[in-house]
Structure 1
Amino acid sequence: MPKLPFSDPGHHELFLRKQQQQQQQQHHLQQQQHHQGIQQNTLVGKKEDPGGGQQHELLDQLYKAAEMVGTGNFTHAQGILARLNQHQQLSPIGKPLYRAAFYFKEALQLSLGHNNVNNNLTPFDVIFKMGAYKVFSEVSPLIQFINFTCNQAILESLEDADRIHIVDFDIGFGAQWASFMQELPRNRGITPSLKITAFASPSTHHPIELGLMQENLTQFANEIGISFELDVINFDSLDQQSCFSLPIFRASENEAIAVNFPVWAASGQPSALPSLLRLIKQLNPKIVVSLDRGSDRSDLSFPQHVLHALQSYINLFESLDAANVTSDALNKIERFLLQPKIESTVLGRLRGPDKMMPNWKTVFASSGFSPVPFSNFTETQAECVLKRAQVRGFHVEKRHAFLVLYWQGRELISASAWRC
């Protein structure tokens, strides 16, 4: 079995544990101080209730609620959602289909504007979120597949660069870049410098979370002898008029740029995707790595989009169930990591113009981006990640220029690399 870059679990786990410990200390101090092309039968897994009648009715009601929301008929939508609130099995505890449907029902409820919940995380929420991420990365190969595949593609594209600039639209906890830094000295005879410009929204990243990430990444870089800099830019304030005055457009000529841009980075406002791609193209990056959960379908009508996204999350929830994690850990993974993404997937479509858009791959191509196949080593590395997973049922396939992670034959996520 070939050696896995970034595979030292000690650094990754230590990085996350250190963030958790620091956050807990800070919190303690604060305390002291089938509808139109969507086949519903594919939404009901074989492991669910064999009758399926109640489940089909549930899916039909969700579709109708999404249809009413999409057309602005909020009164009827509220009536349907009120009935769904009485559904005994619709809860964050239970079978994957019911858990996923519960979160989508909640997202549709938010779209009505009656439940304007403050989505800003509290310091205590950050502790749970970081713990959930740590458990998720341990029990599922999904995060390691994402990080290893994208990191390897970036490394191969920048192998002759000693000044690297990563523009990241989905930095999360930054653990991906700790692994990336760990690999850099072994790839070159000289010590490189790494700068990261991260676009993050205050609604998804608590200031304390960002501060801890910056502190820990800087400390880790110092320990392994890498010059490091991290700039965080408010993604919500990004617009076409001001974006070209950002520091990333004043990069030095000998700086090699790579971009991490998952498709869901634009799910909060899908209509902004072409503008974001124009921004990325102006950076003249060596490579753009992207990820697709299959749930962000701007080429579908809103109710179809909701059911399609629901299917994607049912698949993911089923794969988590197979890992046999505790119900408490599972609930925290879904509440702090997955529910916000579901809300963004649903609400984002409603913020944009009332029309469908081309599939994201079409938008990438029309914006001047061409797919770059992953190397054989990257594919082999992805397969090795799955062999080390605790759960069987995952497999990787190369589909054109994409690497796709499947669970029981159903797509979970695809990775791709692009050049412009």
Structure 2
Amino acid sequence: HHHHYQQAVVVDHLYKAAELVQTGNSILAHEILARLNHHLSPVGRPFHRAAFHCKEALQQLLRNGDAPHPPPPSPFGLVFKVGAYKLFSEISPVVQFANFTANQAVLEAVDGFDAIHIVDFDIGYGVQWASLMQEIGLRGGSSTPSVKITAFISPGTHDQLELGLIRENLIHFASEVNIPFEFQAIGIDSLGSSGPWLLPESKAEDEGVAVNLPFGSLPSSMPSILSFLKRLSPRIVVSVETGCDRTDLSFADHVVHVLQSHSDLLESLDAVNLHMNNDALQKIERFLLKPAIERAVAARFRSPDKAQQHWKSLLLSCGFSPVMFSSLTESQAECVVKRSPVRGFRVEKSQSSLLLCWQKKELLSVSAWRC
């Protein structure tokens, strides 16, 4: 009982601090965050660790204003991040659930095209597309389609070093499975200026376009992205959302939501980690989850209209409609989750989305759309 009371106090403090950060009252915000320091540490229960990272994210906003200044890139930092990502995808079903489900939907949508063009607003480390190309390579057939990836990059998420590495890895992988491949990265800011590089006029007849777009995490660029997608008319738009991608919440509610969803995720990792070494979990938390929490908080702070409609209503009002996943996609998702050594993960369906849940709490949802 005491434990729940403590959680309520922490949530209350974080909420107040977030409101103060948003209104620019940095002195009072600092005071509340300092009080939180007594309650929180980066070790301990999942809830407290997630709250600690949220507190750090708010402190970062106070220090830097709304520009998250990433530390200068170092090749070592990148090695650690990619290493943590690999560990995460090995010990938790989260990454594989997302990648397999999205890839299967993309493969079905672009089946039969000679050229596949993937437009990605969330390239991450590009790992997902390596497994997509592997699938295409395994299918064989008379002619292998070519694959082109256009990655739209948000400011501050990837530096040139990372993009270079992602690109090299994918080129290397494509050549191993004999797929003609090209990769280009474009700043997301250039979307508004409708450059000549991607207008549908230049789209080949036999090119199947698929889009990967996490709707909830790009609130400020959404209108220009959606009008761009209407012109592009892709075969499918796939969206992977973590529990914290709610575009319809105020900034303070959003921070609490980020806390809750990462607390659930950490809880599921702790359970998986009983079978593992603790070192793996610390790496995942430090190099993946902490930066993800900081990004989620900062992106929302920068978004001009703080509370918008929910991204699903926005999509529907722009003329997009949901696509049902095939039974093959569903059974593949089930398979991925059953392979986890830990009981407690479940795949659930909600309208046309597939959800990955941990102890009945939603960790991730995948949905597909067409316009």
Percentage of matched positions with identical amino acids: 55
Question: In the aligned structure 1, how far is the partner of 2:229 from the partner of 2:292?
Answer: 23
Match of 2:88 in 1: 136
Match of 2:146 in 1: 193
Q: Given the alignment, which residue of 220, 229, 237 partners 1:280?
A: 229
Aligned residues: 365
Residues 1:118 and 1:380: Cα distance change in structure 2 (over 3 Å): closer
Match of 1:292 in 2: 241
Match of 2:61 in 1: 111
Question: In the aligned structure 2, how far is the partner of 1:417 from the partner of 1:187?
Answer: 26
Larger deviation, residues 129-138 vs 250-259: 250-259
Residues 1:163 and 1:354: Cα distance change in structure 2 (over 3 Å): closer
Amino acid at match of 1:111: L
Q: What are the within-5 Å matches in structure 2 for residues 132-281 of structure 1?
A: 132-185=84-137, 186=139, 188-201=141-154, 203-235=156-188, 237-241=189-193, 243-247=194-198, 249=200, 250-266=202-218, 270-281=219-230
Amino acid at match of 1:85: N
Question: In the aligned structure 2, how far is the partner of 1:369 from the partner of 1:354?
Answer: 22
Question: In the aligned structure 1, how far is the partner of 2:294 from the partner of 2:330?
Answer: 32
Question: In the aligned structure 2, how far is the partner of 1:99 from the partner of 1:397?
Answer: 27
Question: In the aligned structure 2, how far is the partner of 1:136 from the partner of 1:331?
Answer: 11
2:259 paired with 1:310: yes
Residues 1:99 and 1:257: Cα distance change in structure 2 (over 3 Å): same
Deviation at 1:52, TM superposition (A): 2.4
Contact 1:120 1:203 in 2 (8 A): no
What is the TM-score when the length of structure 1 is the normalising length?
0.82
Question: In the aligned structure 2, how far is the partner of 1:134 from the partner of 1:51?
Answer: 33
Contact 1:170 1:265 in 2 (8 A): no
Question: In the aligned structure 1, how far is the partner of 2:106 from the partner of 2:153?
Answer: 21
Match of 1:376 in 2: 327
Residues 1:333 and 1:298: Cα distance change in structure 2 (over 3 Å): same
Residues 1:187 and 1:401: Cα distance change in structure 2 (over 3 Å): farther
CA RMSD in angstroms, aligned pairs only: 1.9
Match of 2:44 in 1: 94
Amino acid at match of 1:56: A
Structure 1 runs not aligned, ≥5 long: 1-48
2:300 paired with 1:353: no
Question: In the aligned structure 2, how far is the partner of 1:364 from the partner of 1:230?
Answer: 28
Structure 2 runs not aligned, ≥5 long: none
2:341 paired with 1:390: yes
Give CA deviations for 1:172-208 in whole Å, capped at 9, x if unaligned: 1212111111111416431111111112246322423
Contact 2:121 2:214 in 1 (8 A): yes
Give CA deviations for 1:258-315 in whole Å, capped at 9, x if unaligned: 001112440xxx1321221111221110000001112122212221121122111110
Question: In the aligned structure 1, how far is the partner of 2:38 from the partner of 2:71?
Answer: 25
Deviation at 1:391, TM superposition (A): 1.9
Deviation at 1:356, TM superposition (A): 1.4
Deviation at 1:393, TM superposition (A): 0.7
Question: In the aligned structure 1, how far is the partner of 2:3 from the partner of 2:292?
Answer: 31
Question: In the aligned structure 2, how far is the partner of 1:225 from the partner of 1:354?
Answer: 46
Q: What are the within-5 Å matches in structure 2 for residues 1-16 of structure 1?
A: none
Deviation at 1:132, TM superposition (A): 0.2
Deviation at 1:338, TM superposition (A): 1.7
Residues 1:373 and 1:67: Cα distance change in structure 2 (over 3 Å): same
Question: In the aligned structure 2, how far is the partner of 1:374 from the partner of 1:188?
Answer: 24
Amino acid at match of 1:306: V
2:8 paired with 1:56: yes
